[in-house]
């Protein structure tokens, strides 16, 4: 995992090397101060060489100015490198989400995925900058200090490092428990964001059902879970930090006792100046360890975010284009289902479609009718390969749809569903979604065909009117007509209309039906509807039951058969 993450440094290697070079320079400058102090105490003060003290002071001042500049470079350009890595990772993750299958999103919460794209990657960004820098500086300071202290007194140095070894051992053991607690926080944080996203998205329904208290109860439950998870993290951080402080204090105590003894013992070549130098270097030894201790939360959060990132990146889409997939730039629109068997999960015993066979000639309008759960909507999702058949095959123009390039296939198919999705943005942007490169004139023409142009022009901002979140500022009929305008703009060869008018009033339905009639001219059209009034003009009506196709024919033919369809039609008239 770490090796894969390191690849994200490659495009920014120049910034990384500058950052590390500055960190190295800062470490060297910091190591010079105890040496200079020792020189002043041992030579310049006893010999009263004030001139050399001033020269040394001026030299250190220059070095500290340089250190200030180097520290700025690390603070600014280091973070720039981090945000660039974060941006690259977010781009890759967003691209990955775009190519994953329907099934993946069936089992995921939107808020959780949003957390992976934002909060987690921000933590990775902070770690990607600070962790290498902190580790590098710490290594230089530890090795440099250890080497210099060995030249002063080997035995005292070994004693001090024995205590530091205990500190490192304790830190590594506590690190495992901290990582586990951070993983738990990441999981609960995703659920918390998912709950917030779901609650805010459904706030109008909540108010309609006066379920504010119920929503608060659900939120309190997940919020308390997050509180417990975070509390456990802080418990682990507390144990980690306090334990490290304890061993650091032991190290200082050991240095005071053993160093004092070495100064007291006339047989050991060690004086108070050496002891002072030791205390200065011990500070430089402990400083990087404390730095790592203070940043351990950031490092653990970063690693947890990396795990989440690669967990998604490692998911392979099941539905994708095969090698050397066919490109068809002139679909005719002949559709054939041959012995199709489908279940949503291969482990499920429930079969949605069983040995289903149906041929839809190019340019024909076919309606699918039947009770809920017989597979009508499933059929509409199989044609554009949102799901793949479990057995059998679906042919378009006598070629298995799995042999086509996936994007080429879907580009030839247009879908309008009952639950229309309107993006936050302008009406123009929402219509352009059908063909992003279209001109404004083409957008207007599509809106006219969808019978929505006059309404748009009645708005103060016209095509630049903001639709609101999920089109909240538009009525259901207006949303439907905008979605139809998208299809006019896309102009696909195959249309799938899934309960597209079931939630609309009769007047609006008639207007949209006229738009559909215009849209479906010369196109292969699959219509799924419970309102039989919308499918009277279909070239063929397919009545589907649990066992498959039970009736088929034109509207009047089926009514005259006095079968299942006739009963449905009679019931619809009674409702009216």
Of 489, 484, 492, 539, whose CA–CA distance to 331 is shortest? 492
Query: How much is the average pLDDT of 288-317?
Result: 79
In this predicted structure, what is the pLDDT of residue 124?
87
Predicted confidence (pLDDT) at residue 79 exceeds the cutoff of 90: no
Residue 532: CB partners within 8 Å, gap ≥ 6? 369, 555, 568, 569, 572
As a whole number of Å, the CA-based R_g of the chain is: 35
Residue 192: CB partners within 8 Å, gap ≥ 6? 111, 222, 223, 225, 226
Phi and psi angles of residue 544, each rounded to the nearest 5 degrees, phi first: -110, 135
Residue 400: pLDDT band (50, 70, 90) is: very high
Residue 315: pLDDT band (50, 70, 90) is: confident
Residue 73: pLDDT band (50, 70, 90) is: very high
**What average pLDDT does the structure give for the chain?**
83
Q: Which segment of 251-260, 290-299, 401-410 scores lowest on mean pLDDT?
A: 290-299
Residue 354: pLDDT band (50, 70, 90) is: confident
Q: What angle do CA 216, 220, 224 make, to 5 degrees?
A: 170
Predicted confidence (pLDDT) at residue 575 exceeds the cutoff of 60: no
Of 431, 420, 416, whose CA–CA distance to 534 is shortest? 416
Query: How much is the average pLDDT of 119-137?
Result: 82
In this predicted structure, what is the pLDDT of residue 404?
92
In this predicted structure, what is the pLDDT of residue 204?
60
Query: How much is the average pLDDT of 4-13?
Result: 88
Q: Which segment of 109-113, 168-172, 283-287, 531-535 scores lowest on mean pLDDT?
A: 283-287
In this predicted structure, what is the pLDDT of residue 67?
92
Query: What are the pLDDT digits (tens) for 98-115?
Result: 888 877 887 777 777 888
Query: How much is the average pLDDT of 31-50?
Result: 81
In this predicted structure, what is the pLDDT of residue 285?
73
Q: Which segment of 69-73, 239-243, 512-516 scores lowest on mean pLDDT?
A: 512-516
Identify any residues that bridge with 551 across adjacent strands, giving them in sequence order: 543
In terms of pLDDT, which residue wins out, 212 or 377?
377
Q: Which segment of 291-300, 351-360, 453-462, 518-527 scores lowest on mean pLDDT?
A: 291-300
Integer Cα distance of 356 and 401 in angstroms: 16
In this predicted structure, what is the pLDDT of residue 62?
93
Phi and psi angles of residue 77, each rounded to the nearest 5 degrees, phi first: -70, -25
Using H for helix, E for strand and C for coil, what is the string for 89-154?
Answer: HHHHHHHHHHHCCHHHHHCCCHHHHHHHHCHHHHHHHHHHHHHHHHHHHHHHHHHHHHHHHHHHCH
Predicted confidence (pLDDT) at residue 374 exceeds the cutoff of 60: yes
pTM as predicted: 0.74
In terms of pLDDT, which residue wins out, 140 or 503?
140
Integer Cα distance of 422 and 478 in angstroms: 10
To the nearest whole percent, how much of the chain has pLDDT over 70?
Answer: 94
In this predicted structure, what is the pLDDT of residue 366?
92
Predicted confidence (pLDDT) at residue 576 exceeds the cutoff of 60: no
Distances (CA, A) of 570 to 157, 501, 528, 574: 97, 20, 19, 6
Query: What are the pLDDT digits (tens) for 491-527?
Result: 888 988 887 666 566 676 777 777 777 778 888 999 8
Residue 392: pLDDT band (50, 70, 90) is: very high
Please say whether the beta carbons of 396 and 496 come within 8 A. Answer: no
The enclosing H or E element of 245 equals helix 212-264
Integer Cα distance of 243 and 159 in angstroms: 19
Structure tokens at 289: 């360890």
In this predicted structure, what is the pLDDT of residue 508?
66
Predicted confidence (pLDDT) at residue 349 exceeds the cutoff of 70: no
């Amino acid at each position: 995992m770490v090796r894969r993450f390191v690849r994200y440094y490659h495009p920014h290697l120049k910034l990384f090397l500058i950052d590390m070079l500055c960190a190295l320079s800062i470490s060297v400058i910091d190591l010079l101060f105890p040496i200079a102090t020792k020189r002043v105490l041992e030579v310049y003060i006893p010999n009263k060489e004030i001139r050399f003290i001033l020269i040394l002071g001026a030299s250190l001042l220059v070095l500290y100015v340089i250190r200030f500049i180097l520290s700025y470079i690390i603070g600014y350009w280091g973070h720039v490198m981090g945000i660039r890595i974060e941006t690259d990772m977010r781009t890759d993750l967003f691209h990955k989400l775009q190519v994953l299958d329907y099934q993946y999103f069936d089992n995921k919460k939107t808020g959780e995925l949003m957390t992976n794209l934002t909060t987690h990657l921000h933590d990775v960004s902070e770690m990607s900058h600070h962790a290498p820098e902190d580790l590098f500086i710490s290594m230089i300071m530890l090795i440099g200090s250890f080497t210099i202290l060995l030249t002063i007194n080997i035995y005292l140095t070994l004693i001090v490092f024995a205590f530091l070894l205990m500190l490192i051992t304790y830190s590594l053991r506590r690190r495992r428990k901290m990582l586990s607690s951070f993983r738990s926080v990441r999981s609960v944080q995703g659920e918390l964001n998912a709950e917030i996203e779901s609650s805010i998205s459904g706030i109008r329904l909540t108010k309609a059902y006066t379920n504010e208290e119920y929503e608060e109860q659900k939120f309190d439950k997940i919020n308390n879970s997050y509180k417990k998870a975070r509390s456990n993290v802080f418990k682990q951080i507390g144990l980690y930090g306090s334990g490290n402080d304890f061993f650091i204090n032991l190290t200082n105590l050991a240095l005071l006792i053993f160093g004092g003894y070495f100064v007291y013992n006339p047989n050991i070549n060690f004086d108070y100046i050496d002891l002072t130098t030791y205390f200065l270097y011990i500070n430089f030894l402990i400083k990087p360890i404390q730095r790592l201790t203070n940043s351990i939360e950031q490092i653990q959060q970063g690693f947890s975010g990396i795990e989440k990132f690669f967990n998604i990146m490692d998911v392979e889409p099941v539905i994708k284009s095969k090698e050397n997939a066919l490109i068809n730039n002139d679909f005719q629109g002949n559709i054939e289902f041959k012995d199709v068997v489908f279940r949503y999960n291969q482990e499920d015993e429930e079969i949605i479609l069983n040995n289903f066979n149906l041929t839809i000639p190019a340019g024909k309008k076919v309606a699918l009718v039947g009770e809920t759960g017989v597979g009508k909507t499933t059929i509409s999702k199989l044609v554009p390969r949102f799901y793949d058949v479990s057995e059998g095959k679906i042919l378009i123009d006598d070629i298995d749809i799995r042999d086509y390039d996936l994007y080429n296939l879907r580009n030839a198919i247009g879908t309008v569903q009952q639950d229309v999705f309107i993006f936050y943005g302008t009406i123009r942007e929402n219509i352009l979604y059908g063909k992003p490169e279209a001109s404004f004139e083409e957008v207007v023409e599509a809106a006219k065909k969808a019978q929505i142009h006059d309404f748009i022009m009645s708005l103060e901002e016209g095509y630049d009117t903001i639709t609101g979140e999920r089109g909240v500022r538009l009525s259901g009929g207006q949303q439907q007509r905008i979605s139809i305008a998208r299809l006019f703009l896309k102009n696909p060869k195959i249309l799938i209309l899934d309960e597209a008018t079931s939630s609309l009033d009769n007047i609006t339905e008639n207007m949209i039906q006229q738009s559909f009639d215009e849209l479906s001219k010369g196109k292969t059209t699959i219509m799924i509807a419970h309102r039989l009034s919308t499918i009277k003009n279909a070239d063929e009506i397919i009545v589907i039951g649990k066992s498959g196709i039970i009736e088929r024919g034109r509207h009047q033919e089926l009514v005259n058969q006095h079968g299942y369809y006739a009963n449905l039609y009679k019931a619809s008239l009674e409702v009216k």
